[in-house]
Structure 1
Amino acid sequence: MTRTAVQVQDRGVDGLVELRRRRAALLADRRLTWVFGADEPGATVREAWAGGIRMRIHAPRAAPSSGRPIVLAFHGGGWCWGSPEQSRWMAGRIAVRTGAVVVVPACRLAPEHPYPAAVEDCWTVLVGLRGPGLGGIVGHYLGRDGSLAEEWSASPLRARSHAGLPPALVLTARFDPVRSHAERYAAALRTAGVEVAVHRPALATHAYLTLPGISPASRAGLARVVTFLRGVLASR
């Protein structure tokens, strides 16, 4: 179990909300951009709303956004914290290097909004655009008994079939506490005939892609994502 998950379990709901507030303050502190990274200078950043959901939109400055492909990126955080701002370093660079518009929505978070709130928000944004082993954290989202974890929309690995899904790139890390889950999902996709690749840096831990200032592996991870997206977008 991660240190963060232990803190959440020990402090309960109020503790989680406080940890979330503190983390947001760290992300907003300009003195710490050397840790979390800053917005990409070559991309514009604006906010928009879809179905009451805030979205942070990154687009290349080089050309108009109209007619460009869209990459929908959902931020991490165990469904209990996280924000579009934590993805700023990666989202802007993906936009510039792939030529796509990258949309990062701010999903509702547990415990105030437990499952399936975040899933519903992700679907709402996707539809609107058509018209991107954690202990206490998981408990807040899926219920204290964890029974909702059996739902495939909470854990895609549990879907009855993975056949017909699009190509996938699964990123994990050698010291990621949920690495085995990610690699089991990749194996399930491969068994179903889905084209899938796994990127697992040897010297990295969970969330390394949001810590470019202290995780050298973040740049290789970004490059792998960009290469994957270029291939997918070029085939469409």
Structure 2
Amino acid sequence: MPLDPQLEAMFANQPEWPPIRTVPVPALREAVRSSSIQMPPPQVSLASVSDRTIPGPAGEIPVRIYTPEGSGPFPVIAYFHGGGFVVGDLDTQDMIARGLAAGAESIVVSVDYRLAPEHKFPAAFDDCWAATQWVATNAAELGGNPALIGVAGDSAGGVLASACALLARDAGSPRLSVQINWYGPGIHPIPEEGSAIEFADGPILRLDDAHYFWELHIRDDSDFDDFRASPMKAVSHEGLPPAFIASAECDPIRDAVESYAPVLEKAGIEVEVKRYPGMVHGFVSWLGFLPGAQAAMADACAFAKKQFAAARQNA
């Protein structure tokens, strides 16, 4: 299927992004930030949005807490933004956190984890795991239900969510009800086959961009064998929470995203995997105006609500 017509028209009026490795990291961060905060937010109503910090393994971690309208206690979802582990912050994917809080009728705690290359692997994972534990421990204080905890993320954040689900399973706590992954690959480095070849030159994300982000992120190639970097490489996938996995059709890492689903299914995990036609990497950030993004958010929220409802019944 060709690129979504709305995206095609949008890209036709914009200059093409240069290859990521040609842009200094500070300039890249500023470009992503400035373009992201200009995007219209989703038209949702929330009871409150507040910023604070929580304890982390290397100091305080900034978080933003989104509380839905209605009466709690609500489920609580730890959300991790995308950006290749190199760019992104609480503002760049504010729209996704808002949509998730309203649509899943859940408190969302968005985590401003440490970024590479200043903070190499596994710094981001350490921060997100600390935040996941904090969310579970402090759910009641936030107006949430400590028995209804989930993790979610887009792109790099989807990898972080998958890793935290594995870490929670291994630690025995918190017991997660759901994991949501919008286009976060299950394996690294990205295998150079299938969608990686078909969409090697984008649009939006090039295969070399994905490789370069990981060059900045990892310490050496041995990190690729760590399940926190490649969730598919975990020894076991049994006992994980139900997973929603979304991929974009026109994305070089599409196949690496979708390949995690059969691994989970083989381990007996409930999985809903959906490929969104005509979409590109990062498309959920256009939640404020793009029907494909709205569908991916609605599908993820419906899945989360179903899992939280089941967890309530089994409590």
- 1:226 aligned to 2:301? yes
Name the stretch that deviates more: 83-92 or 187-196. Answer: 83-92
Q: Is the 8 A contact 1:59 1:101 kept in 2?
A: yes
Alignment gaps of 5+ in structure 1: none
Deviation at 1:88, TM superposition (A): 2.0
SS of equivalent residue, structure 2 residue 269: coil
2 CA distance for matches of 1:188 and 1:21? 37
- 1:8 aligned to 2:17? no
Which residue number in structure 2 is paired with residue 69 of structure 1?
Answer: 75
Name the stretch that deviates more: 205-214 or 105-114. Answer: 205-214
Which residue number in structure 1 is paired with residue 84 of structure 2?
Answer: 78
Which residue number in structure 2 is paired with residue 17 of structure 1?
Answer: 26
2 CA distance for matches of 1:98 and 1:197? 16
Which residue number in structure 2 is paired with residue 182 of structure 1?
Answer: 257
- 1:206 aligned to 2:218? no
Q: Is the 8 A contact 2:46 2:66 kept in 1?
A: no
1 CA distance for matches of 2:286 and 2:45? 18
Percent of paired sites with the same residue: 29
* Distance 1:165-1:156 versus aligned 2 partners, 3 A rule: same
Q: List per-residue Cα deviations over 1:27-56 (Å, max 9, x = no partner).
A: 34xxx233xx25733342111211110111
Give the count of matched residue pairs. 222
Name the stretch that deviates more: 208-217 or 109-118. Answer: 208-217
Which residue number in structure 2 is paired with residue 45 of structure 1?
Answer: 49
Q: List per-residue Cα deviations over 1:196-219 (Å, max 9, x = no partner).
A: 111111110111001235632101
1 CA distance for matches of 2:121 and 2:216? 9
Q: Is the 8 A contact 2:244 2:272 kept in 1?
A: yes
Letter of the 2:66 counterpart: H
TM-score norm. by structure 2 comes to 0.66
Which residue number in structure 1 is paired with residue 218 of structure 2?
Answer: 142
Alignment gaps of 5+ in structure 2: 1-15, 138-150, 152-189, 191-209
Deviation at 1:193, TM superposition (A): 1.2
Letter of the 1:168 counterpart: A
2 CA distance for matches of 1:42 and 1:183? 32
Which residue number in structure 2 is paired with residue 126 of structure 1?
Answer: 132
Counterpart of 1:87 (choices 90, 93, 111) is 93
* Distance 1:69-1:183 versus aligned 2 partners, 3 A rule: same
SS of equivalent residue, structure 2 residue 27: helix
Q: CA RMSD in A?
A: 1.9
2 CA distance for matches of 1:222 and 1:38? 11
- 1:33 aligned to 2:109? no
TM-score norm. by structure 1 comes to 0.86
Q: Is the 8 A contact 1:43 1:95 kept in 2?
A: no
Letter of the 2:273 counterpart: V
Deviation at 1:141, TM superposition (A): 0.4
Counterpart of 2:271 (choices 190, 196, 202) is 196
SS of equivalent residue, structure 1 residue 170: strand
- Structure (1/2) with the larger helix percentage: 1
Counterpart of 1:54 (choices 38, 46, 62) is 62
Q: Is the 8 A contact 2:80 2:128 kept in 1?
A: yes
Q: List per-residue Cα deviations over 1:130-187 (Å, max 9, x = no partner).
A: 22441111110013x5331111111111111111111101111111111111111111
2 CA distance for matches of 1:43 and 1:94? 14
Deviation at 1:82, TM superposition (A): 1.4
* Distance 1:213-1:68 versus aligned 2 partners, 3 A rule: closer
1 CA distance for matches of 2:90 and 2:300? 18
Which residue number in structure 2 is paired with residue 235 of structure 1?
Answer: 310
